[in-house]
Amino acid sequence: MKLRVFITLTASILLLRCTNPSSAGGSGTETINTFVALAGGVPASGAAVKVVDSDGWFDSIYSSAAPVLESTTVAENGMLSFDISPSRVFNLQIDNGKAGRFLYRINPRQIDKDTLFLDSVFTFEATVDSALAKDVVFRLSGTTYKAKFRSPDKIEVTGIPQGTYTLVASGGAAGKYPVILKGLDISADVPDTQLQLVFNNTLVDDFQTGIGPSTAGNLNPDIYWYTYSDGGAHGWNPALKMWVEISDTFQSVGSSWINADSSIETRNEKAALFRAFLDHSIDPPWAGAGINMKSPDGKGIDLSSMESFSFRARGRGTVTVRLETAAYDRIASGHSQFSSIIYLTDTWQVYTIPVTSLNLILPLDSQYQFVPWEEASKEVTKVEFEFSGSDNPADSVELYIDDIYINGVRSEAFR
C-alpha cells in the first residue's frame, strides 16, 4: 500500500460576503442590529429571541445550566438588537408562534444590518420505550427546544424552524451527558417515529443532517467527513459549511476519484453513497472516505472504552475500515494502523467490528515501533473506509453506508 501522510484541511475559497461595521456595544462587544420579518415582510414584533452558546451547549446541558447567552424580543418596528463579542460563534433561535428561524454557528457580521425572514415551524413526534424514557429529557442540539410527553411512550417537539438538528437525551437512564439518538432534517412535520433508545453507544452519523457534517458534528463540529484518492482530496469545512478542496501532502500520482452523495432509502431515511473510480494504471490505486475525529481542544477522541465499531452497509467492492491514531502519527508518516476488511454485498448488512478483531498494520516508516491498542486508542484521529486497488480489480466500486456507531463509548468522549 502506498505511503501517505496526514491530510490537513485548507479552504480553497474565501468568504465573499461583506458587511457594514457594527456600532460599539459594551466592553469588548458590538451591538448587532437586524430586521426580523414574517414571510410577507411584516415586522415580527414580539418574537422571542435566544442567542445560544454554540460551543458550550453540550457542557451546559451536562451541568444543568442554561445554554443561552442572551434572551430578548424583537421590537415593535421589527428591529432585533443585542450586544455580543465580534469573534463569538453562536446559534440564533427566533420563535414567533407559527413562525420561526434557527441559524447554526454564525458570527455577528453574518446577520448585522440584514433582514431575517421567519418561516413555517414543524412538529416532531416519536414513540419511545416508556421504561427507558422515564425521567429522560429529550432535546434538539444547539437550541432550547425540549420534547413534551403526550403519554409515557409518546413524545413531541413543537414549533421547530426548518433546519438540521441532532436529537439527544439526558437524565434518567441516559445519564448526565447528552446521548446522541438521531439526526433530524426538519422541513415538514415528522410523523410518529419509532425511536430506539441506546444509551451506552454513540451514534456518529445516520446522515439525516447531510453528507459532510456528521450527526455527532452538531455537538462537536470537528467531527466531519472528507474524501481522498490518489487523484486528490476534498473535505467538509465546518466554518464555510460546504465541501472544499483539501491538501494531501503525498503527491497525487493517479487519476482515481471518489464522490460523496446522499441516497434516499426506505421511509425517506437517508444514507451516504460513496462512488469511486480506481485508476489501475498505478499500482495500487486508492480512494476512500473518512471521518475527522477531533475534540474541541484539537486532540483525537479517546476510544479506549470502545467495544466495537458498527455500521450498516451495502455496495460493490472490498473496503478496509481503518482507525488512525495520534500515537502512530507521531512516529511515522504512514496511515495504515488498526484495521479490518469487509466484503460488500448488494443487500444491507450490519457490520460489527470488535476491538479484538482489529489488525495492526504498521506504517511503512514506523521502524517497527509498537504501540498497543490500549494505549493508542486514547487518541483516535480518523476513521476511514478505503477502496484499494490491491483488493479491488474492478475500476468502479461503491459504498452505501448508514447508522455508524461506536459501541461502549458515550458521547462525552467527543468533548
Domain assignments of the chain as residue spans, ordered by start = 32-119, 121-197, 211-414
User: Measured between alpha carbons, how far is residue 149 from residues 15, 138, 157, 164, 186 in Å?
Assistant: 43, 10, 9, 22, 20
Residue 13: per-residue pLDDT: 33
Tell whether the model's pLDDT for residue 78 goes beyond 70: yes
Q: Are 52 and 144 in contact (CB under 8 A)?
A: yes
Span of 90-99, 134-143, 173-182 with lowest mean pLDDT: 173-182
Fold adopted by 32-119:
Immunoglobulin-like (2.60.40)
Q: Do the beta carbons of residue 172 and residue 184 sit within 8 Å?
A: no
- How far is the C-alpha of 184 from the C-alpha of 163, rounded, in Å? 8
- Residue 32 clears pLDDT 50, i.e. is over it: yes
Instruction: Please tell me if the domain spanning 121-197 has the same topology as the one spanning 211-414.
Output: no
Topology of domain 211-414 in CATH is Jelly Rolls (2.60.120)
pTM given for the model: 0.89
Residue 267 buriedness (CB in 10 A; 0-12 / 13-18 / 19+): exposed
Evaluate if residue 127 carries a pLDDT over 80. Answer: yes
Looking at residue 295, its pLDDT comes to 81
Domain 121-197 has CATH 3.30.390.10: no
**Which pLDDT score is estimated for 332?**
72
Q: Is the pLDDT of residue 396 over 90?
A: yes
Determine the longest span between alpha carbons in the chain, in angstroms. Answer: 70
Q: Is the Cβ–Cβ distance between 110 and 179 less than 8 Å?
A: no
pLDDT above 80: residue 57: yes
pLDDT for the residue 176 = 86
pLDDT at 102 over 70: yes
Dihedral, CA atoms, 171, 172, 178, 183, nearest 10 degrees? -120
